[in-house]
Structure 1
Amino acid sequence: MKQNYSVEDLQYLMAQLRNPDGGCPWDLKQSFATIVPSTIEEAYEVAEAIEQEDFEHLHEELGDLLFQVIFYAQLGREEGHFDFARVVDTLVRKLVRRHPHVFPSGELYGDNATAEIDEQQVKANWEAIKAAERQEKGEGGTLDGVAAGLPALTRAAKLQKRASQVGFDWPEIDGVLGKVEEELRELREAIASGDREHASEELGDLLFSCVNVARHLKQDPESALRMSNRKFEQRFGAVEAALRARDLQPTDVSLEELDRLWDAAKSAGSDSAEA
């Protein structure tokens, strides 16, 4: 057995899995569309490992994500659309084009003396180059090209970022917070009216405004919400553990008792963070 397998070995493995003569029945049934959910799941597992600083398993999660790319490349080759070599070539050309301060010759191995440039200039150049690429693709609108399949919070942040680049933005976070308060009032009014459809719309507006707060704080809203999810899980787990110690379940006690245990778990978490 080889000591270390290569990307070429991975491509060979994928081709064997998709081989009609002796391949894997499950892999043979898959298509571009059917493996999309797995791709999204693997990407989130990579994000979770990084957020948890689980570097012992991060390489495994990255491998799972890489396998998704290899799978798509195999499907592309079989259907005559593209292959893995073209995926890599397109990526390298795009990154060289978007980093003229590193590759001024426009070639990966050309005469590439690094230009003096700061991070802000890099970001500005990157966005300008991406905008030019969108123009070439016929995506002339400011918001064109923001993938509709993105998670809603992430897509909201990208839409707002694009709009801000042409000056459509609150200059200070106070304006954003005021908008959140306005949307909350409108949600309360919609709920009071009994119009569930209108309330749903106002709830979306409130969430959109909260994403804007995250953007002004330079925070990723998806990451912020994942952190809150983990915090909720930990605290609710502490509540259940306290009840199990008394041979009780959450349904055995009052809401007041659950609130008391929640506050205790919250205080214990705060104490741990300070420690």
Structure 2
Amino acid sequence: MPERPEVAPLPTLLRLMAALRDPMRGCAWDVAQTFSSVAPYTLEEAYEVVDAVARGDMADMREELGDLLLQVVFHARMAEEAGAFGFDDVARTIADKLIRRHPHVFDASGALLPEGGAGPSSIAVEAQWAAIKAAERRAKGAPEGAGIDPLGGVALALPALTRAEKISQRAASYGFDWPDAAEVIGKVREETDEVAQALGQGDPGAVAEEIGDLLFSVANLARHAGVDPEAALRAGTAKFERRFRAMAARLEEAGRPLPDCDLPAMEAAWNVVKRNERGG
């Protein structure tokens, strides 16, 4: 039996997506989708890529990247059907952006500069990238007579901690920032006191507002410390999960199922688990 000729994977994927969206012969579910209905899946697949990266699971990462690519292809196909743009336009746009934002690597045509190599330092490249992005935002412009939004372009759909970090970074680029992490710690303590005050007043709205201020300050602290707040929170949550399960297992082995335990018993087991983790 002759072997089938090798088919380029990306054109195959684009063809399959077009077939799935065919109103007469495609899949009813795929045909019924819209940008809005697909968007939550796009976000979910992006998180699953991040999860695979965190676990260092290369096989799973390959699969999850494919799922994420499918989301790009899906949106591009719907846009093509609407006469807006197609997948090639998406690829061309990001290629042009990469060339434009790496003037130390490519010339205007996209050819590699003869000097190549490391070029500017990482810090200089980051500053250059930010300046180019700011210029791009200005080039997009605003209605005549309106100013450019200094905090514009930070997606509302980002996780709240990530968006807080990005907004504070944008403000910092204008010089509106604390001088160092120690100053931010003072702000965190101030916000914690204000949370306590709001709790004492028994005002749920004020409590929610002050907790929001506290979380924003913590995101700023993470930025000053060079820590990704989302990654730090994921790691902290994973540590809590690990210790809670170990605590429950320890109590179960002692003949005390978790639902039958009081708080002092759980705290005692929790402290043992913490000491064991720390080798103490």
Per the TM superposition, whether the score is higher than 0.5 is yes
Query: C-alpha distance in 1, partners of 2:192/2:5?
Result: 61
Query: C-alpha distance in 1, partners of 2:6/2:161?
Result: 43
Query: C-alpha distance in 2, partners of 1:52/1:110?
Result: 35
State the 4+ residue runs in structure 1 displaced beyond 6 angstroms: none
- SS for the counterpart of 2:37 is coil
Q: Does residue 191 of structure 2 align to residue 183 of structure 1?
A: yes
Q: Which residue of 2 aligns with 1:151?
A: 159
1:121-142 C-alpha deviation (Å, 9 max, x unpaired): 2111111110000001126232
- SS for the counterpart of 1:35 is helix
RMSD: 1.8
Q: Which residue of 2 aligns with 1:258?
A: 266
1:46-94 C-alpha deviation (Å, 9 max, x unpaired): 1111111112311111111111101111111111111000000001001
Candidates 88, 107, 110, aligned match of 1:108: 110
With the length of structure 1 as denominator, give the TM-score of the two structures: 0.93
1:172-217 C-alpha deviation (Å, 9 max, x unpaired): 1111000000000000000000111001100000000000110011
Query: C-alpha distance in 1, partners of 2:257/2:19?
Result: 51
Q: Which residue of 2 aligns with 1:74?
A: 77
Candidates 167, 172, 175, aligned match of 2:180: 172
Q: CA deviation at 1:110?
A: 6.6
207-216 or 56-65: bigger deviation: 56-65
With the length of structure 2 as denominator, give the TM-score of the two structures: 0.92
Candidates 133, 136, 150, aligned match of 1:133: 136
Q: How many equivalent pairs are there?
A: 271
Candidates 37, 48, 58, aligned match of 1:45: 48
> 5 Å matches for 1:1-275?
6-103=9-106, 105-109=107-111, 112-114=114-116, 116-138=119-141, 140-246=148-254, 248-271=256-279
Identity across matched positions, percent: 44
Q: CA deviation at 1:260?
A: 1.2
- Please tell me the residue identity of whatever aligns with 2:232: A
Task: Give ranges in structure 2 of 5+ residues lacking alignment.
Answer: 143-147
C-alpha contact (below 8 Å) 2:105/2:112 kept by paired residues: no
C-alpha contact (below 8 Å) 2:252/2:258 kept by paired residues: no
1:11-62 C-alpha deviation (Å, 9 max, x unpaired): 1111111111221121111110011111111111111111111123111111
